[in-house]
Structure 1
Amino acid sequence: MARRAVLLLAAALALFGASAAEAGTPALVVDAASGRVLYADRATDPWYPASVTKLMTAYVALDLVRQGKFSMNSLLTMSPEATREPPSKMGFKPGTQLTLENALRIIMVKSANDVSMMIGENLAGSVENYAALMNEASRRLGMRESRWYNQNGLPDERQQTSARDMAILARALIHEFPEHEDLFRIGALKLGRKIIRNHNGMLGRYPGADGMKTGFICMGGFNIVATATQNGRRLIAVVMGYPSARERDLRAADLFDHGFASSGWAMQTVDQLPPSPLMSPPNMRSVICGPNKRQPQEDDETAVVAAAPGGNADNPIASLFSPSTFSVASAGAARSLGGRTSLGPRVEFEPVPIWLGATPGTVADEDGKTKAKPVAIAAKPVQSKRVRGRNLEPVAAAASLTPPVAGTNPGEGAAVTTLRSGPSPASRSALSGNLQAKPAADAKPKLGAVGAGAKAKPGHGQIRAKPALPAAALDGVELRRDAKAKPRPVAKPARRPETAASASEKRAAAQ
């Protein structure tokens, strides 16, 4: 009897494994304007959402702004509890402040878990209160499979959604908040010197891709909610549970190709999709992040899946990622897509600037530390000083100042002050009187000065002439000539013209 039960259990597991391999993972593409379903596979199966949760976080925040309870410039403060959230995160210190708009930009691009929790705590008072707002919004939008317990999508076995629900949420964001559509298509952010690139590998690589959000946890695999527009028509694609970011993005591109080639006029709408028989999501941790495996990241391009011990028959979760899942579609022609194998190259985006605080003024460096904006040092006032009737008047530094003297501090250019000397009108009379006045008889002369009634002391104020050498000492002294100095030419005396008498005298002397 026991042997028979074991055989029945093994047959059931093998049957489930085969059906799982045939079914694949959730995939859906919807026309954003009409809500018509252009392709669906396991679209209502419950699944762990990972960071696509942040789309619901953004929806509730934008709804609160629409109600007038907050504005996009409302300041949010980072709590110590939020700083302890695991990566992906910004790593801000407690007390750091962000505007709501910058916080939403960060969670859409960086997918920062600490900033997501910061939004929930500041807008609703606690993570639990904000989760209640998320669940209320889900019921209002008709998202049947969604259950929310946190704002960032970190692992929680109670938190779940479906491809159908995420397509409904994406349509609501597009139609209810068109003025905030840029939040979901930012390619990169710039915070100080740091550039933060978006995890969404569809942006800039698939023609017309313009949003929205990716997500990854070991329990749910790689997920994406993507939008693309071609020829004025916008589609929404949802892919969940893939083993790598590359396979996920290729699947989403394949869905877009199929959707843009379909009219969808006779298809059912997304809210008409039938519910799934599954009550809870499959846990894929052993397949995606099993023992001795590298922990993948949200934008990981490398597949990390390997068959679990015992083969696919004993591990129905591993069967979801068999080669046939990606190459051969089940359910007839409905799952036969183009089989895209590549995307365009990654592109560089012009980063959107963000900042800490209410306005640009402080930035965070790579370590998360803040640096205050430098403030110009004010010049210290210089007081006038009267010196012997001349008034030294301070002249404020201005554009007409002469260049600073070498050796001065260049960092104090704003505080440079020059002094201009000149007699003031008030001191001219005193100056002239001072110059013409005679010294008083009882005035005590300064040290070394020679004046009336003062005796000159040796070495103080006296100018002593050097003694001249006697003439006898100069006899026999040979003046040395500089060897390098050239001798001056000696001018020859002018020749006088000879007369007859002088000529006869020369002849007589010669005889």
Structure 2
Amino acid sequence: MLRFTAIITVLVGLLLGSFSGIGAGVAQENETLTTPSLVVDLDTGAVLHAEAAGHPWYPASTAKLMTALITFQALERGDVDLSTPVILSHNAMDQSAAYAGLKVGNAMTLEDALYAVLVGSANEVAVALAETVAGTEAAFVDLMNAQADRLGLTATHFTNPNGLFDQKQTVSARDLAVLGRDLFQVYPDYRRMFRTAAVTIDDKELISYNELITRYPGTLGLKTGFVCSAGRNIVAIAERDGKRLLAVVLGATTGRERSERTAKLFDDAFAGNLTANGQALAELPNASETQPEDMRMRLCSNETAAYEAGQNRRYPMGLPGAPSYLKDPVSAPTYSFQTWFVPQPEFVPVPSAKPVQAVELMTTPQASGAKFEIVPPSKPPLPRS
């Protein structure tokens, strides 16, 4: 009798568990999430659309926009120039995501490094660039946070120059819009870098994840980013008939969703369907006391397929049978360069932040008479298109 009761109990448990699993699956598949988005008039700062724009979010590689800004400031001060060597240190190569095919000791000009970071999103090069500009990665991050304070980015805190995940590293759509607008308006000489579609490093091509550059006419750049906890982020600028707009979309599920949502926001704003409500970008509040939404379980787990299905129903643009806001591919500038090699023994210090035309390194601590000279190219390579 006890055995019969136990069998019945197990069968009932399995049956209830099956129904529970089906219910949970339906709930997950029906789940959708409104992630932050923002559109502003680039020239006036007028807000045309804002949804959860002040909610803290993980930046992913959009953090590299601040890395660019700090580097541009160093260029303006004359601390470095575009031909300053940037050398891949052991610390720079010690990144969890380094996929540009580089090794410790690979060197490039600072201009090359900016293209590698802003177009190819090379995480290791972002760290090497930080070390070149500020001496150490930590000192560079201090500069990033000081600049965030000056710009009033109250939801923003940086812990590294490349955007790799850290729970303490946050932004908001509002803050990214302020940052992107400042970059575009204050440093026009470097806009060309943001609208470049691909960079080739030593014959390895890295294509920009900003699909708008080649699929949305009038796109002027900026930056995308992805880590599991952030989803797919973008800060983009587009121009049409003399009107310039800046859009931010955070937490998209797929690259298609990110590009299509951003293109639709641009289309709606250019068509006059999104209009100013009297609020300026600088006046948008941040919800700094709230915690960022962590997208990891939705985007990088066994729950991903169900969540993505729900988001596809919410944002079907570009899927078979649905209209697309992207256009046929158009040509865009590309950039190519070759690195050279500077041996990096463990004891060799990080490269100086000051421009140097030659570097003398000891081959070993004992070989006091053995020296060699590394001379970078006299002229940085020109972009190709």
| TM-score when normalising by structure 2 | 0.75
Q: Distance in 2 between matches of 1:127 and 1:120?
A: 5
Q: Output aligned runs, 1:313-332, within 5 Å.
A: 322=311, 325-326=314-315
Kindly indicate whether residue 145 of structure 2 is the aligned counterpart of residue 135 of structure 1: yes
Aligned to 2:39: 29
Do 1:85 and 1:114's aligned partners in 2 also have CA atoms closer than 8 Å?
Answer: yes
Aligned to 1:276: 287
Kindly indicate whether residue 53 of structure 2 is the aligned counterpart of residue 64 of structure 1: no
Q: Output aligned runs, 1:89-488, within 5 Å.
A: 89-262=99-272, 264=275, 266-276=277-287, 279-291=290-302, 305-307=304-306, 322=311, 325-326=314-315, 341-357=324-340, 358-359=376-377
Q: Distance in 2 between matches of 1:244 and 1:344?
A: 18
CA 1:340–1:174: 2 relative to 1, 3 Å: farther
Secondary structure at the counterpart of residue 239 of structure 1: strand
Q: CA deviation at 1:233?
A: 1.2
CA 1:103–1:198: 2 relative to 1, 3 Å: same
Do 1:100 and 1:119's aligned partners in 2 also have CA atoms closer than 8 Å?
Answer: yes
Q: CA deviation at 1:68?
A: 1.8
Query: Which fold has the larger relative contact order, with Cα–Cα distance below 8 Å and residues 6 or more apart in sequence?
Result: 2
CA 1:121–1:284: 2 relative to 1, 3 Å: same
Supply the AA of the counterpart residue of 1:285: R
Supply the AA of the counterpart residue of 2:338: W
Aligned to 2:343: none
Q: CA deviation at 1:89?
A: 2.8
CA 1:267–1:22: 2 relative to 1, 3 Å: farther
Do 2:56 and 2:288's aligned partners in 1 also have CA atoms closer than 8 Å?
Answer: no
Do 2:100 and 2:201's aligned partners in 1 also have CA atoms closer than 8 Å?
Answer: no
Supply the AA of the counterpart residue of 1:34: T
Aligned to 2:344: none
Do 2:202 and 2:339's aligned partners in 1 also have CA atoms closer than 8 Å?
Answer: no
CA 1:231–1:219: 2 relative to 1, 3 Å: same
Q: Distance in 2 between matches of 1:277 and 1:204?
A: 35
Aligned to 1:499: none
Q: Encode CA deviations 1:118-160: one digit per residue, 9 max, x unaligned.
A: 1112211222111110000111111111010001111101101
Q: Distance in 1 between matches of 2:177 and 2:334?
A: 28
Q: CA deviation at 1:77?
A: 1.3
Percent of pairs with identical residues? 35
Q: Distance in 2 between matches of 1:188 and 1:91?
A: 15
Q: Distance in 1 between matches of 2:84 and 2:310?
A: 45
Q: Output aligned runs, 1:8-87, within 5 Å.
A: 24-87=34-97
Q: CA deviation at 1:190?
A: 3.2
Supply the AA of the counterpart residue of 1:276: A
Out of 244-253 and 340-349, give the one that drifted further. Answer: 340-349
Do 2:32 and 2:310's aligned partners in 1 also have CA atoms closer than 8 Å?
Answer: no
CA 1:47–1:355: 2 relative to 1, 3 Å: same
Q: Distance in 2 between matches of 1:185 and 1:362?
A: 19
Q: Encode CA deviations 1:337-373: one digit per residue, 9 max, x unaligned.
A: xx9634223345453232325327999xxxxxxxxxx
Q: CA deviation at 1:275?
A: 2.6
RMSD (Å) for aligned C-alpha atoms: 2.8
Out of 120-129 and 174-183, give the one that drifted further. Answer: 120-129
Do 2:60 and 2:233's aligned partners in 1 also have CA atoms closer than 8 Å?
Answer: yes
Q: CA deviation at 1:324?
A: 6.2
From the two aligned structures, give the one with the greater helix fraction: 2
Q: Distance in 1 between matches of 2:277 and 2:35?
A: 25
Do 1:355 and 1:362's aligned partners in 2 also have CA atoms closer than 8 Å?
Answer: no
CA 1:325–1:350: 2 relative to 1, 3 Å: closer
Q: CA deviation at 1:93?
A: 1.9
CA 1:185–1:277: 2 relative to 1, 3 Å: closer
Q: Distance in 2 between matches of 1:320 and 1:271?
A: 36
Supply the AA of the counterpart residue of 1:123: V
Supply the AA of the counterpart residue of 2:232: F
Secondary structure at the counterpart of residue 160 of structure 2: coil
Secondary structure at the counterpart of residue 161 of structure 1: coil
| TM-score when normalising by structure 1 | 0.57
Supply the AA of the counterpart residue of 2:377: T
Q: Encode CA deviations 1:268-291: one digit per residue, 9 max, x unaligned.
A: 111111232752211111110014
Q: Distance in 2 between matches of 1:26 and 1:362?
A: 39
Q: Distance in 2 between matches of 1:97 and 1:323?
A: 43
Bigger radius of gyration among the two: 1
Count of paired positions: 315
Secondary structure at the counterpart of residue 204 of structure 1: helix
Supply the AA of the counterpart residue of 2:280: T
CA 1:156–1:162: 2 relative to 1, 3 Å: same
CA 1:88–1:234: 2 relative to 1, 3 Å: farther
